[in-house]
Amino acid sequence: MSRQSAKTSARSAKNARRTTLKAVKKTAKSARAVAKKSAKPARTATRSTARNRAGDVASRILRTPSPPTQPIAASDIPVHAHKYQVGETVYYTSPSFGRAAATGSYTVVKLLPSEGDDYQYRIKSSGEAFERVAKESQLDRA
C-alpha cells in the first residue's frame, strides 16, 4: 500500500467517525428537547401547588401590630465635637514609626470626620509645602 492510499483511507475512516458522532449528538439533542417539553407542564403544576401551600400557611399566621416605640431625643444622642478649630495652632507628635522631623507646630487647615473614636484634622506646617492628616490623639495645644 502506498503512502498516498494509506492517507486517503485514514481520512475516509476519520470522516466516517465524524459523521457517526454528529448523528449520535443530534439524536441525543432531540431526545433532550422532547424530554424538556414533556417536563414543562409537570413543573408548572408543582409551582402552582407550592403557591397554594404558601397561601394556606400565610392565612394561618396571626398578625399583630408592633408595640409603639419612643423616638430618641436629640439631647440623648452623645455628640462629640472637634477639640481644635480651623486656624488654631497645634503641636503634632508624629507616630514612632514615622520620621522624627514631622514633630512640631502646625496650623489646623480643615476638620475631617472621625475614624473610630478619634477625630481627624488636616494640618499644615509653615516649613512644609504639603498638608498632613493627623488624629486628635496626636495633637496638643501649642
Instruction: Give tens-digit pLDDT for 41-91.
Output: 555 555 555 555 655 666 677 777 877 777 766 666 556 688 999 999 999
- As a whole number of Å, the CA-based R_g of the chain is 39
Give the model's pLDDT for residue 1: 59
Per the CB < 8 A criterion, the answer to whether 120 and 134 are in contact is yes
Give the model's pLDDT for residue 58: 61
pLDDT beyond 90 at 111: yes
Measured distance CA(118)–CA(138) in Å, rounded = 10
Q: What is the mean pLDDT of residues 104-125?
A: 91
Q: With 0.85 as the threshold, say if the pTM is over it.
A: no
- DSSP H/E element including 33: helix 3-60
